Amino acid sequence: MLLVGKLKIFSAVAFVGVVLVVVSYISPGWVILSYQNTQEYFSWRHNLHSVDREITKLSNGYTKSGHLSIGVWYFSLCVVQPEFSGNGWFYNSFEEKCSLAANSYIRNIIFPRAFIDWVFNTALEPYGNSRLEVKVLSTIGIVFAALGVIGTIVYTRRKAKSRNVGLLTFVSFSVSGGLYLSAMVKTLGSIPFHKLYFDDEYFRVTFYDVKFHCPWGLVLGIIGCIFILTSAIGHLYILSKTNQTITYKSTTLTKVRIKGKLSRIPIQQSLHQATTRSLG
């Protein structure tokens, strides 16, 4: 296969990898956990306004279960809560509510707040301490990935004739894959993949079983990084091959003009003709 054909294959691999990395970057699937209340808190019932329906007075922010997905910039939350009837009362029927917000609001949305504080102070303490570093590394990785895409487009259109563009593409993809992969490994190492238990020490009404699940955002990102690094190695291979070809041609052939015609002849012969003309 010609080098140009191989270059197109490596460019396609790079495009797939960059798409996967971008999806991972904007997804909230870096840390995924679910929590389930292990005790039903329906100890007191009341009939409101003679309506034949049981309602329950619960503590503010009570949730039966929830599913939390945290990403680089924002998180998604789905909770199962008792249906609210007004005036601080809740029906015994449940409803599911989902929300999407920036990570900076995570402590204001998730209830009870003692639970989310416990999550970040215990289970996700390493992740909480490295969130800024993860944001910086992943963002720089995305920027270099975009630069690599531009480089591989130009390099392919020029049919691998521009060595500087090829070198820029190789460096961009290498830096992108390395930085983004390091951000994901740092996040993955901070997730405790074992069952945890939360006990509300104050109100004694919240008892959660906490489970961490497979972070699909990290899985997509790791696969994308593998594709990007593979493309970087491919561009380096093409650079080495084109460099050998150019070096070989430059040392064996040269262009000379003989009787108004431009032709290629060996260097030794051209030097002999040039010397003969100068002596003559």
DSSP per residue, 155-214: HHHTTT--HHHHHHHHHHHHHHHHHHHHHHHHHHTT---S-EEEE-TTTS--EEEEEEE-
Where does the pLDDT of residue 76 fall: very low under 50, low under 70, confident under 90, or very high at 90 and above?
A: confident
Closest-CA residue to 27 (of 194, 263, 242, 215)? 215
Q: What is the mean pLDDT of the chain?
A: 75
> Do the domain assignments include residue 135?
yes
228 burial level (CB within 10 Å; 0-12, 13-18, 19+): buried
pTM (two decimals)? 0.72
> Do the domain assignments include residue 259?
no
Residue 97 has pLDDT above 70, yes or no: yes
User: Can you read off the two tokens belonging to residue 65?
Assistant: 């279960």
In terms of average pLDDT, the best of 124-128, 255-259, 269-273 is 124-128
> What's the total number of domains in the chain?
1
Q: Kindly report the CATH number assigned to the domain that includes residue 191.
A: 1.20.140.150
**Residue span of the structural domain in which 241 resides:** 3-245
Residue 59 has pLDDT above 80, yes or no: no
Residue 146: per-residue pLDDT: 95
Pairing of strands 89-102, 196-199: unpaired
> What mean pLDDT do residues 121-142 have?
85
CB atoms within 10 A of CB 182: 16
Tell me, what amino acid is at 256?
A: V
Residue 103 has pLDDT above 70, yes or no: yes
Long-range contacts of 62-65 (CB under 8 A, 24+ apart): 62/37, 62/90, 62/111, 62/112, 62/205, 62/206, 63/37, 63/111, 64/36, 64/37, 64/94, 65/34, 65/35, 65/36, 65/37
2 burial level (CB within 10 Å; 0-12, 13-18, 19+): exposed
> Do the domain assignments include residue 278?
no
End-to-end CA distance of the chain, in Å? 49
Is residue 104 within 8 A of residue 64, CB to CB? The reply is no
> Do the domain assignments include residue 268?
no
> Do the domain assignments include residue 257?
no
> Do the domain assignments include residue 275?
no
Q: Specify the range with the lowest mean pLDDT, choosing from 18-22, 87-91, 159-163, 169-173.
A: 87-91
Q: What percent of the chain stands above pLDDT 70?
A: 67
DSSP label at residue 103: G
Pairing of strands 31-37, 65-70: antiparallel
Is residue 30 within 8 A of residue 215, CB to CB? The reply is yes
> Do the domain assignments include residue 260?
no
Measured between alpha carbons, how far is 163 from 243 in angstroms, rounded to an integer?
A: 8
> What mean pLDDT do residues 57-61 have?
41
Residue 262: per-residue pLDDT: 45
Residue 16 has pLDDT above 90, yes or no: yes
- In the block, which residue shows the tokens 């030794």? 268
> Do the domain assignments include residue 270?
no
Measured between alpha carbons, how far is 61 from 233 in angstroms, rounded to an integer?
A: 52
> What mean pLDDT do residues 6-32 have?
92
Residue 191: per-residue pLDDT: 82
